[in-house]
Amino acid sequence: MQQDRAVKASLILTTLVVLLAAAYFARPILAPVSFAIFTVAVVWPVQEAAQKRMPKLAATFVTLFATIAAIAVLGYLVVWAFGHVAQWLVANTARFQSLYQQATDWLDTHGIPAHAMMANSFSPNWITSALRGIGGQGYGLLSFLVIAFAFIVLGLLEVDIARANIERLESRALRESLLRPAQEISAKFQQYMMVRTTMSLLTGAVVWAFALVAGIELAIAWGVLAFVLNYIPFIGPLIATAFPSLFALAQFESWSLALMVFACLNVIQFFIGSYLEPRIAGAKLSLSPFMVLFAVFFWSFLWGIAGAFIGVPILIAVLAVCADHESSKWLADLLSGGKQKRIA
């Protein structure tokens, strides 16, 4: 009996490793498809409400337009904020040159040949490699968006068809085992986005207020960037923290003040992103804060930035499915800290 359990555990572990390896190597397809399924689940109430007042194809167009408009607004805010930052950067180039000179002189006096190191680092090959890397990232983002958009369109058109096919199944238990978790997952996805948006707005407002009180220029731009980039866990807040700190260094021409700004911004990001948000999300979605953070790190390791965004929704879906079956309910209770409950 004990030997059978060991064999079964080995098979489960081997299967899990194979599935994770497949998810890693198939990320160019699986990541945008997962994002598309998540988006369909979130925006479906808009589609369902629109279908009551217009034909299905027109309702799909309205839903797609609303989704694209929301993404476009976020993109415009990023472009607007970075545009103001770029203008400030051009107008204050002399400050950065002066700070660079001071830093390299200080390093040279302490035995670190900063001038020689920087001269060797900035070469045509380095610039070419950087441009190629940016181009590759841009191509990857474009392919991601194209694949995700195609599956979003198909998903919105086929939600009713899939539901009707499931409802025609003869087995009532099978129908309920498919429909009930799907409805639960969709409702929790919508709650997750509400929590995420609320926390992003809070982060943007606090960063804006801090920049205003601290006298940092472009306070509105920093608040906008903190709001938008907060949708990308950990990576976005890092960018939203580093840029204001660098500009505070150029504005105040003081390393100590820049470090203080950097520390304060990190405290804000840590409190909201690593303490407040996981607990609010956990309370509303029956998730363990530890598992929320783990999901972000784990899926960002597998799928990069897309995985960082989609990691928590994947965790929500897995826990909802496990909680719906008696044989796996123990796993859902274990991972959620025993807080799993249904959404009415």
> pLDDT, tens digit, for every residue of 178-190?
888 888 888 888 8
Instruction: Kindly indicate the confidence band of residue 127, based on its pLDDT and cuts at 50, 70 and 90.
Output: very low
Q: How far apart are CA 87 and CA 100, in angstroms?
A: 20
146 vs 288, more confident: 146
Cα–Cα distance list, 216 to 99, 182, 316 (Å) = 17, 47, 39
Q: How far apart are CA 44 and CA 152, in angstroms?
A: 10
Contacts with 244 (C-beta within 8 Å, 6 or more apart), sequence order: 207, 211, 216, 222, 261, 265
Residue 96 confidence (pLDDT) above 80: no
CA-based R_g, the chain, Å: 24
> pLDDT, tens digit, for every residue of 231-263?
877 777 888 888 888 888 878 877 788 889 999
The per-residue b/e assignment along 92-116, b for 16 or more CB within 10 angstroms, e otherwise, is: eeebeeebeeeebeeeeeeeeebee
Q: How far apart are CA 203 and CA 271, in angstroms?
A: 10
Q: What is the mean pLDDT of residues 49-78?
A: 85
Residue 202 confidence (pLDDT) above 90: yes
30: phi then psi, degrees, rounded to nearest 5 = -65, -35
